Amino acid sequence: MNTQQAFNLAVQHHQSRRLKEAEALYRQILSVEPRHAGALHHLGLIAHQAGRHDLAMEWIRQSLTLVPDNAAAHSDLGEACRLAGRLDDAVACYQRALQLDPAFVAAHYNLGNALLARGRSEEAIVAYHRALHFQPGLPEAWNNLGTALRERQRMEDAEAAFRRAVQLRPEYLEALTNLGAVLASRGCVDEALTVYRRALQLQPGYSQIHLNLGNLFWQAGRRDEATASYRRALELKPDFAEAHYNLGNAFTEQGEFEQAAAAFRHALEIRPGYAEAHNNLGIALVECGRIDDAIGAYRRALELRFDHPETHNNLGVSLMQRGQLDEAIAAFRHALRLKPDRADFHSNLIYTLHAHPAENDGTIAEEHRRWNRQFSEPVRPLIRPHANDRQPGRRLRIGYVSPDFRAGSVAFFLTPLLENHDHRQYEVYCYASVRHPDGVTQRLQKTADVWRDVGALSDQQLAECVRNDGVDILVDLSMHTTGNRLQAFARKPAPVQVSWLAYPGTTGVETMDFRMTDARIDPARSPDDVAGGEPVRLPDAWCCYAPIGEFPLVAPSPAAQNGFVTFGSLNQFSKIHESLLADWAQLLERLPASRLLMICPEGESRERTRAVFAAHGVVGGRVELIARQSWADYVRLFERIDLALDTFPCNGMTTTCHTLWMGVPVITRAGTTAVSRAGRSLLETIGFPEWVADSDEEYIHIAAEWAQDHLRLAETRRVLRSRMEASPLMDAPRFARHVEDAYRTIWKRWCAQKLP
């Protein structure tokens, strides 16, 4: 048998998949004729089929040194490079094959695959079109064309491509699955469901379809069916990383954070480089109170994918919670550099700047201006004149917008107003984006004349809803906190817009007409007057407090029994920084027998906190750091505190009111910004201006002076709750009348304006 006969027989074995016999013959040929290009090429193909791509590349390259113009060999070399992950080399090989044979369908098709894997989807689309020009009936090319079009967000064209693939091969499961996914993305839920069910008839055990079906159910709000589909996908394929990941997302949405973390960890055991799973694991861990572990998850996600803006933002939130404000601000700025059109990232930055001791009014004002340039100016042309009836004395429609109509800090101040509105004069609309409604949600819902769940609405849709409702005065309760809808306010859906409550100060949003405040928080010519609404100073305080929930009776002063005073801070740790800790350390140095109890996350935050106190010689058991508590345990902590220390520059609000209600005096430090004057407003309103300091030295002095008078502490503790109860801070009917008077005044001003 001569060489040609041996080669022909080897090719027959190869085509019959008798690969061992074929390989033996090819090698026999090469032992006789080492420069046999065909044998070298086909040995490369056998190695390629066996998954030995490096060896395949070596054999095929040798064949090309002998026959450099073999288009098929260049294409096969490209396929070996592609499967070996050498995508740029693969692209070059396919392009060389097409230079030699422009009508080479497989080379066009595989070039498209390599370009798509390389992230060059626009070029991949061109390659697939060229393949289909020469062979229109190639279903794989139509399917992959649809995938490339979907990556370019050309959903209508992608749908057409997937439909063509299915038309050519009705049992093509991958194309059916892709068609269902693109239909789902276009909101065609019923049609997508029909496609998925058709696919499941062909192959009931196809786990990918169960995953996609779960996604479809989730999109349609059918949560239980979605979770069941994810579980079915995992029954069929336990190592299905995406199904574990989506199940984790479902648990997160349902508030089952421990189960969510477990699901994300399962996904990561299967695919350690799954950046999105690391990110979402971090989100779940934050909710479980494991901030250090969450930061570790975010940092790992960024090692894998540094250009992911959401992870930088999430890292910033956790760093802020850990009190690392410089690092948090840097993370938010990086997220914004990657994705400047994310208003929530920018709001996180603005809110964090308020808590930083070194940031000034000018920096915050500049960020407010940047927010307006990015989010207010583009929608300004969409603002339309308002047709509201300009009668000054008529019944007004007041709209409140918030994601926080639930148990939480907002409820302690919003409830007394909503429950005391005069519904004869004011019709109350609540626009709620509450993710997890609770008993407080139900209580607040009863106070509204109209309640709308708007969490699923876009900002434009929310603005249209408000305008269609004919709201006269729209009140923002979130400002730059999580879940705010400031972009809806930027569209000016109501003739008068007001910000209030989330924190003292301004949103900076140019379409916000007013902000509710008081003369202590916003004295005349305050630097906060520059933007975000004219201040409307309420007569007493800018808020009214109601102790919602279970509070125990005031306990006796612990100093009387202990013989030493215990300072305390139960504020969020994000408001605590090293310069404030240094002030507290000086206070403890001045009173060597005193103690400090404070909430501090476990891990790195505690190490930094202890280091600051140790640097001032405060060691041993004098500082007790505790984790965040359940509500019942939290309110019992006040029984162990004699004197509370407020945070600065971002004063406490809710925590201060809880502390006072539990009979514990609060020493505050006032500053130049609105957020640093909240403590002054609260304490002077209940009649204790002597607890307000205007400098660090005075802050330490007042705290030390009160701490040394145990009798005065005991007597104050005995009367503080009743003093607070009798003050304007807890007079809900009085506060509601003041707010309504403010609404009526600003409404009359709008009525008096000339029509455009």
Domain CATH for 398: 3.40.50.11380
Q: What is the CATH number of the domain that holds 594?
A: 3.40.50.2000
Q: How far apart are the first and last CA of the chain?
A: 99
pLDDT at 20: 76
Q: How far apart are CA 661 and CA 664, in angstroms?
A: 7
Q: Which residue has the tokens 């499961």?
A: 173
Whether the per-residue pLDDT at 410 is higher than 80: the answer is yes
Q: Which helix (H) or strand (E) holds 290?
A: none
Please tell me the distance from the alpha carbon of residue 737 to that of residue 432, in angstroms, as a whole number: 24
Instruction: State pLDDT tens for residues 553-600.
Output: 999 999 999 999 999 999 999 999 999 999 999 999 999 999 999 999
Neighbours of 631 (CB within 10 A): 11
Sorting pLDDT into bands at 50, 70 and 90, what band is 136? very high
Comparison of pLDDT for 128 and 89, the residue scoring more: 128
Query: Does residue 422 share a domain with residue 294?
Result: no
232-265 pLDDT, tens per residue? 999 999 999 999 999 999 999 988 999 999 999 9
Give me the sign of the Cα torsion angle 480, 484, 485, 487: positive
* Strand 450-453 to 426-432 pairing: parallel
Q: What φ, ψ does residue 396 adopt, rounded to 5°?
A: -100, 150
Neighbours of 329 (CB within 10 A): 21
Same domain, 342 and 425: no
User: Which band of pLDDT confidence, cut at 50, 70 and 90, is reported for residue 452?
Assistant: very high
| In a shared domain, residues 406 and 486 | yes
CATH of the domain at 1: 1.25.40.10
- The residue among 2, 65, 67, 72 whose CA lies nearest residue 33 is 2
pLDDT in tens, 506-556: 999 999 999 999 999 999 765 544 567 999 999 999 999 999 989 999 999
* CB-facing half-sphere around the CA of 3: CA atoms within 13 A: 12
Average pLDDT of the segment spanning 285-300: 96
Residues 375 and 394 in one domain: no
My answer on whether 575 and 719 are in the same domain is: yes
Q: Which of 68, 84, 106 is the last residue of a domain?
A: 68
Residue 40 lies in a domain: yes
SS3 of 687-713: the string is CCHHHEECCHHHHHHHHHHHHCCHHHH
Residue 326 lies in a domain: yes
Of 121-135, 215-229, 385-399, 456-470, which gets the smallest average pLDDT? 215-229
**Cβ contact 491:463 at 8 Å:** yes
The count of residues in the chain is 756
Among candidates 399, 517, 526, which has minimal Cα distance to 450? 399
Q: What is the mean pLDDT of residues 39-49?
A: 67
Tell which of 379, 406, 441 closes a domain.
379
Contact of 131 with 101, CB cutoff 8 Å: no
Domain termination site, one of 46, 68, 90:
68
**630 φ, ψ to 5°?**
-65, 165
Confidence check: pLDDT of 40 > 70: no
> Regarding predicted confidence, which is higher, 115 or 53?
115
**Residue 486: pLDDT band with limits 50, 70, 90:** very high
- Least Cα distance to 211 among 172, 250, 269 occurs for 250
Residue 639 has pLDDT above 70, yes or no: yes
Task: Round to whole Å and give the CA distance between 444 and 434.
Answer: 12
Q: What is the Cα–Cα distance from 193 to 216, expressed in whole angstroms?
A: 8
Q: In what order do the strands lie in the sheet with 666-669?
A: 623-626, 595-599, 566-569, 643-645, 666-669, 692-693
Burial code of 334-348, b = ≥16 C-beta within 10 A, e = fewer? bbbebeeebbbbbbb
683 within a domain of the structure (yes/no): yes
Range of the domain at 667: 558-730
pLDDT computed for residue 39 by the predictor: 66
Structure tokens at 406: 């639930």
Domain-embedded: residue 442:
yes
Strand partners, 453: 432
Question: Are 357 and 480 in a shared domain?
Answer: no
Query: What CA–CA distance (Å, rounded) separates 453 from 475?
Result: 16
Mean residue pLDDT across the chain: 92
Q: Find all residues with CB under 8 Å of 171, minimum gap 6, and list them.
A: 202
Per the domain annotation, does 316 fall within a domain? Answer: yes
* pLDDT tens figures, 499-514: 999 999 999 999 999 9
Task: Quickly list H helices, 50-154.
Answer: 53-66, 71-83, 87-100, 105-117, 121-134, 139-151
Backbone Cα Rg of the chain:
34
Residues 618 and 725 both lie in one domain: yes
Phi, psi at 198, each rounded to 5°: -65, -40
pLDDT digits (tens, 9 = 90+) for 714-742: 999 999 999 999 999 999 999 999 999 99
Domains contained in the chain, number: 4
Based on the fold, state whether residues 575 and 707 are members of the same structural domain: yes
Give CA–CA dist 488/499, Å, rounded.
Answer: 13
Nearest to 354 by CA among 341, 343, 345, 367: 367
Model pLDDT, residue 529: 45
pLDDT of 472 over the 90 cut: yes
Q: Which residues contact 5 (CB under 8 A, 6 or more apart)?
A: none
Residues 394 and 493 in one domain: yes
Asked if residue 345 and residue 485 are part of one domain, the reply reads: no
Q: Do 596 and 718 belong together in one domain?
A: yes
DSSP conformation letters of 126-137: HHHHHHHHH-TT
Closest alpha carbon to 430 in 410, 386, 554: 410
Cis peptide before 649 (omega within 30 of 0): yes
Q: What is the DSSP annotation of 739-755?
A: HHHHHHHHHHHHHHSPP
**At 518, which amino acid appears?**
D
Round to whole Å and give the CA distance between 584 and 723: 28
Residue 712 lies in a domain: yes
For residue 465, pLDDT over 80 is answered with yes
Contacts of residue 139, defined as CB under 8 A and 6 or more positions apart, other chains included, come to 164, 165, 166, 168, 169, 172, 175
Neighbouring C-alpha atoms within 13 Å toward the C-beta of 281: 27
Does any domain span residue 209?
A: no
Both 530 and 394 in one domain: the answer is yes
Residue 603: pLDDT band (50, 70, 90) is very high
- Measured at the alpha carbon of residue 434, what is the angle toward residues 430 and 436, in degrees to the nearest 5? 145
Q: Residue 101 CB: number of other CB atoms within 10 A?
A: 16
| 453 located within any domain | yes
